[in-house]
Chain A
């Protein structure tokens, strides 16, 4: 029927460029001509041997892990305050949290970079990159956490308090287990965001370091390196199948349940993509 056709076209649209990347990764010629003349897996072995690429990969990994950790902490704290209490300015928190991602990346990048170099006199380094990434990753964790907390009734926590547990015990034994999978889903998405980010990173990174996107950008136009870039991209796609699937399974456990009423879209489990 018409809808299936629309879906098929949509999916084709999404996947054709990716297939092109995969084809180029096996392209035997260095120049990206079409159609490609031959087949080779040479670029993949080159990619593993390429030292700047490896270093960039690990730098991205480090940045992603730390930024996700910070985003998890701050996002969870904010979500607990918003979902479980009422206070003056509560509604603005959702607004505030989304700003770093809604405003142009170049503005966020330059603002943070200026503050570090001109106001605080702190040189740019992996640390400043992490700060930048954490800032726009908070929203992903926050959205997932708030959505989950709204589904979990607050009465369990009240019961826990009634039974004599103090705040930390309540969090640890009652709230956190309920939130765990939403946090993992949010964390995975935050990591994905940080791993692929280029604009803010460009402005906050120090001279000698590169994250993977920066390495890719500096090699995009180098004829000798470009095929390796394609191979790296394909490897990244393959590796990422696992966390993506995990994020869906963990976050969307209740996804099959019929929804309650209509409306709302920004914070939704596992699909609260920035």
Chain B
């Protein structure tokens, strides 16, 4: 019998070597430039909304797409809604890149990136009748309008909350000291809950803006190297006391409910869920009553439509629906945020809702630092600010 076994180890090395050579070749002469899939104002927005396609695939924050207002939408338009809940903006940007979704409720630290990546298309606001009565300080903002072109429909806005267990954390905090000041935070070692995304660096920067003004921090998202390193050091100190870094809202709820954490940053959504379960939690802004003295980071969310969405008509119907007075009132009260729609204030179950959430007070929102994408461009003529990649890398080294 002819047996040509050859040297098996040699065969393996040959295959591996071949692959490595192929790889390096592709790497070396692959394209030579970035693969620009467009983006920017060369895209055309939809000109006319036609008949619904029967299906709608959305990406959203927890609590944004609930049966209470989704079922009536499905009945009215025939568009069956399938929603993927994402925990962070990073996740949303990634999911949009797959091209499988029609729309996304994007925060300011995702919108610019999606526009640059070419995964979203401009929105023709003429096709969204309810847009006319959206609060004016939400229109044409830097996080939803790029080079003069509108890219989305405002959904609502809110501030990130400081939440604590009323039984375990005394005295009731009115400042982010309880999470950042080493002496105070050490009292709650292992019980602190922090949002697991690089955007949290801005919270540290905001804290430093108040407590170390000689660093000269103006916008917590535009940090030069010195300011950035100060924020990183603060967060590394905090890491020793952190009990959990959360990215799924429900995971944080179970951690608070189970007593694994007693103080942390959160959204109104978790606060409501915990109060419903009878957990002894308190939060600030309690019904947006006050912000901690340093201010708060927050978000202003925008519904964006995917470029080459498979169901564009349904998406436009959704965008118009979600900012219709009744639906926007429902989602605002369910999640606990200020609605985008002026007329929603008359539809809320709690007649004082808009007042409590400062929906009609532009001055309140000046103390809230909406999530933003960090760029090298400092906005004051200088280009030495840390960009998004720096933030992500720093976050990994903070967590250790």
Does A touch B (CB under 8 Å) in the complex? yes
Residues of A within 8 A of B (CB): 31, 86-92, 95, 117, 123-124, 206-208, 218, 221-223
Report A-chain residues with C-beta under 8 Å of the C-beta of B253. 221, 223
Report A-chain residues with C-beta under 8 Å of the C-beta of B8. 89-92
A208 to B, closest residue via Cβ = B82
Report B-chain residues with C-beta under 8 Å of the C-beta of A221. 248-251, 253-254
The contact of A223 among B6, B55, B57, B250, by CB within 8 Å, is B250
Q: Does B99 contact A (CB under 8 A)?
A: yes
27 CB contacts below 8 A, A to B, read A86-B1, A86-B3, A86-B4, A87-B6, A88-B4, A89-B11, A90-B8, A91-B8, A91-B9, A91-B11, A91-B12, A92-B12, A92-B15, A95-B12, A124-B100, A207-B84, A207-B98, A207-B100, A207-B101, A208-B55, A208-B82, A218-B85, A221-B248, A221-B249, A221-B250, A221-B251, A222-B250
Residues of B within 8 A of A (CB): 1, 3-6, 8-9, 11-12, 15, 55, 57, 82, 84-85, 98-101, 248-251, 253-254, 257, 273, 277
Instruction: Given contacts A88-B5, A91-B8, A207-B100, list 14 more A-B pairs with CB under 8 A.
Output: A86-B5, A87-B5, A88-B11, A89-B6, A89-B11, A89-B15, A92-B8, A92-B15, A123-B99, A207-B98, A221-B249, A221-B251, A223-B250, A223-B277
Report B-chain residues with C-beta under 8 Å of the C-beta of A206. 100
Report A-chain residues with C-beta under 8 Å of the C-beta of B6. 87-89
Report B-chain residues with C-beta under 8 Å of the C-beta of A208. 55, 57, 82
B2 to A, closest residue via Cβ = A86
Report A-chain residues with C-beta under 8 Å of the C-beta of B82. 207-208
The 8 closest A-B pairs by CB, nearest first: A91-B8, A221-B250, A88-B6, A207-B100, A89-B11, A86-B3, A92-B12, A207-B57
Complex alpha-carbon distance, A223 and B272, angstroms: 13
Q: Are A90 and B5 in contact (CB under 8 A)?
A: yes
Complex alpha-carbon distance, A62 and B253, angstroms: 35
Complex alpha-carbon distance, A123 and B228, angstroms: 41
The minimal Cβ–Cβ distance linking A104 to chain B, given in whole angstroms, is: 18
Complex alpha-carbon distance, A88 and B10, angstroms: 10
B101 to A, closest residue via Cβ = A207
Report A-chain residues with C-beta under 8 Å of the C-beta of B5. 86-88, 90
The minimal Cβ–Cβ distance linking B18 to chain A, given in whole angstroms, is: 12
A207 to B, closest residue via Cβ = B100
Assess A87 versus B100: contact at CB under 8 Å? Given A92-B11, A207-B82: no
The minimal Cβ–Cβ distance linking B302 to chain A, given in whole angstroms, is: 21
Complex alpha-carbon distance, A218 and B248, angstroms: 10
Interface centre among A86, A92, A117, A123 (most CB of B within 10 A): A92
The minimal Cβ–Cβ distance linking A32 to chain B, given in whole angstroms, is: 8
Complex alpha-carbon distance, A91 and B99, angstroms: 42
Interface centre among B57, B249, B254 (most CB of A within 10 A): B254
Report A-chain residues with C-beta under 8 Å of the C-beta of B254. 221, 223
The minimal Cβ–Cβ distance linking A10 to chain B, given in whole angstroms, is: 29
Q: Are B15 and A87 in contact (CB under 8 A)?
A: no
Complex alpha-carbon distance, A222 and B12, angstroms: 48
Assess A31 versus B12: contact at CB under 8 Å? Given A88-B6, A124-B98, A206-B100: no
Q: Are A31 and B257 in contact (CB under 8 A)?
A: yes
Complex alpha-carbon distance, A266 and B158, angstroms: 56
Complex alpha-carbon distance, A207 and B12, angstroms: 38
The minimal Cβ–Cβ distance linking B309 to chain A, given in whole angstroms, is: 12
The minimal Cβ–Cβ distance linking B15 to chain A, given in whole angstroms, is: 7
Report A-chain residues with C-beta under 8 Å of the C-beta of B3. 86
Complex alpha-carbon distance, A221 and B248, angstroms: 8
Interface centre among A91, A123, A206, A221 (most CB of B within 10 A): A221
Report B-chain residues with C-beta under 8 Å of the C-beta of A207. 57, 82, 84, 98, 100-101
The minimal Cβ–Cβ distance linking A23 to chain B, given in whole angstroms, is: 17
Complex alpha-carbon distance, A44 and B230, angstroms: 53
The minimal Cβ–Cβ distance linking A119 to chain B, given in whole angstroms, is: 12
Report A-chain residues with C-beta under 8 Å of the C-beta of B4. 86-88
Complex alpha-carbon distance, A207 and B250, angstroms: 21
Report B-chain residues with C-beta under 8 Å of the C-beta of A117. 98-99
The minimal Cβ–Cβ distance linking B28 to chain A, given in whole angstroms, is: 19
Complex alpha-carbon distance, A265 and B379, angstroms: 64
A225 to B, closest residue via Cβ = B250
Report B-chain residues with C-beta under 8 Å of the C-beta of A90. 5, 8
The minimal Cβ–Cβ distance linking B202 to chain A, given in whole angstroms, is: 26
Report B-chain residues with C-beta under 8 Å of the C-beta of A222. 250
B257 to A, closest residue via Cβ = A31
Complex alpha-carbon distance, A123 and B99, angstroms: 9
B251 to A, closest residue via Cβ = A221
A203 to B, closest residue via Cβ = B98
Complex alpha-carbon distance, A92 and B7, angstroms: 10
Report B-chain residues with C-beta under 8 Å of the C-beta of A123. 99-100
The minimal Cβ–Cβ distance linking B208 to chain A, given in whole angstroms, is: 33
Complex alpha-carbon distance, A141 and B130, angstroms: 59
B58 to A, closest residue via Cβ = A207
Q: Are A31 and B11 in contact (CB under 8 A)?
A: no
Interface centre among B5, B84, B253, B277 (most CB of A within 10 A): B5
Report A-chain residues with C-beta under 8 Å of the C-beta of B1. 86
Report B-chain residues with C-beta under 8 Å of the C-beta of A87. 4-6
Complex alpha-carbon distance, A117 and B94, angstroms: 13
Report A-chain residues with C-beta under 8 Å of the C-beta of B251. 221
Report A-chain residues with C-beta under 8 Å of the C-beta of B100. 123-124, 206-207
